A and B are shown apart, each in its own frame.
Chain A
Amino acid sequence: MKKILAITLLIIILAGAFASIVFAQTKIPTDDDVNRIAKQLYCPVCESTPLDVCPTEACRQWREMIRTMLTNGKSEAEIKQYFVTQYGVRVLNVPPNPWATYFVPGVVILIGAALLFRGFQLWKKPLATVSASDKQEAQPVQQDEYLAKMEEELRKRK
């Protein structure tokens, strides 16, 4: 009798131990868990609306999809990859290759700005006009007797 009782007790203890393991595996993700991933994704049908604050029915479905995937043990990276496969890279709040997305246009803009700056710098320089007649006209100003007399007269009148 004692033996049966001991075996029954052992079965109950083991069952309890397994039950606790099962409980740990089926942990339901909280809204915070879902929103932590949802805010890194954008609604593919609404303009510039993060998934965690998007009020549409479609977004509600996508948040539920994240919850289901978390429940199934999917990682954050796996969930994001699923959304990219389904809806395209535009759902990500950060592009998959930031180097190509930000650096290349940055370099192109810098080259363009440098070219424009150089262009404007050259445009701003005064025109240097060298003229043979200018040289001839510059000298007679001092040599022109008529002009010298006029200037002398004007000085006297003052």
Chain B
Amino acid sequence: MTEELTSQRRGVPIWVQVTVWVFLVALLVIVAMGLQRAQQGTVQPGEKIENFTLNLFSGYEYSNKTQVAMQELRGKVVVINFWASWCKPCEQEASEMQQAWSLYQPTGKVVFVGADYVDTEPEARVYLKKFGITYSNGPDLATKISQYFRIKGVPETYFIDQNGVLKYVQVGPFASVQEIQNILDPLINQ
């Protein structure tokens, strides 16, 4: 005797199953992306830096322009220093940064740019004057640039080569001008 089982299973429609799974997978992807971003740290050396524009404080312009775009600086080594007037560790390196700028400015091969992170302009100006800083400086408006670099705090300094590739990241203040020179000299001569 052969038994023919005709089983009719009344379950969840396929479209509901697919939708639920799509929702779950999307949720997991979003969580994974968030975790990955949180653990990523700053932009890593070797990455090509995209073009961005920094508005500059009056009196701290670059070639008499009130804005500086990364693209304009191709062919030169770019040093981007994130700082804030309320940041005490930034004060430790402020003089060293200015001294380094004074050393390299005559060569025309290096550009220093200061990005003032979540700060107020009057206090920032007091800070710049106090440390005699003369290189281009401007506010990181809406923290767009610091978000791009995924900075973890201030001070942080990024060294970008002539081709727009990030070569070195300094987290925390420099202790001496020599430290800055040790990074810049090989970049200039490469």
> How long is the Cα–Cα vector from A122 to B15 in the complex, in angstroms?
13
Which residues of A35-94 have CB atoms within 8 Å of chain B's CB atoms?
44-45, 56-58, 61-62, 64-65, 68, 84-89
What chain A residues lie within 8 Å of B123 (beta carbons)?
Answer: 61
Chief secondary structure at chain B's binding surface: loop
> How long is the Cα–Cα vector from A56 to B4 in the complex, in angstroms?
78
Q: What would 6 more interface pairs be, CB under 8 Å, given A88-B142, A115-B19? A: A61-B85, A61-B119, A115-B16, A127-B9, A128-B8, A130-B7
What chain B residues lie within 8 Å of A119 (beta carbons)?
Answer: 12, 16-17, 20
Which residues of A115-139 have CB atoms within 8 Å of chain B's CB atoms?
115-116, 118-119, 122-123, 125, 127-133
Across chains A and B, the number of contacting residue pairs, with CB separation under 8 Å, is 74
Partner of A122, one of B7, B8, B11, B23: B11
Give the interface of A toward B (CB within 8 A). Answer: 44-45, 56-58, 61-62, 64-65, 68, 84-89, 112, 115-116, 118-119, 122-123, 125, 127-133
Q: Are B5 and A118 in contact (CB under 8 A)?
A: no
Q: Are A58 and B16 in contact (CB under 8 A)?
A: no
> Given known contacts A44-B118, A115-B23, is B12 in contact with A57 (CB within 8 Å)?
no
CB nearest neighbor in B for A63 = B120
Q: Are A122 and B118 in contact (CB under 8 A)?
A: no
Which residues of B1-54 have CB atoms within 8 Å of chain A's CB atoms?
3-13, 16-17, 19-20, 23
> How long is the Cα–Cα vector from A122 to B6 in the complex, in angstroms?
21
Complex A-B: 13 CB contacts under 8 Å: A56-B86, A62-B120, A86-B141, A87-B118, A115-B20, A115-B23, A122-B11, A125-B10, A127-B9, A127-B10, A129-B7, A132-B5, A132-B6
> Does B155 count as interface, using CB distance less than 8 angstroms?
no
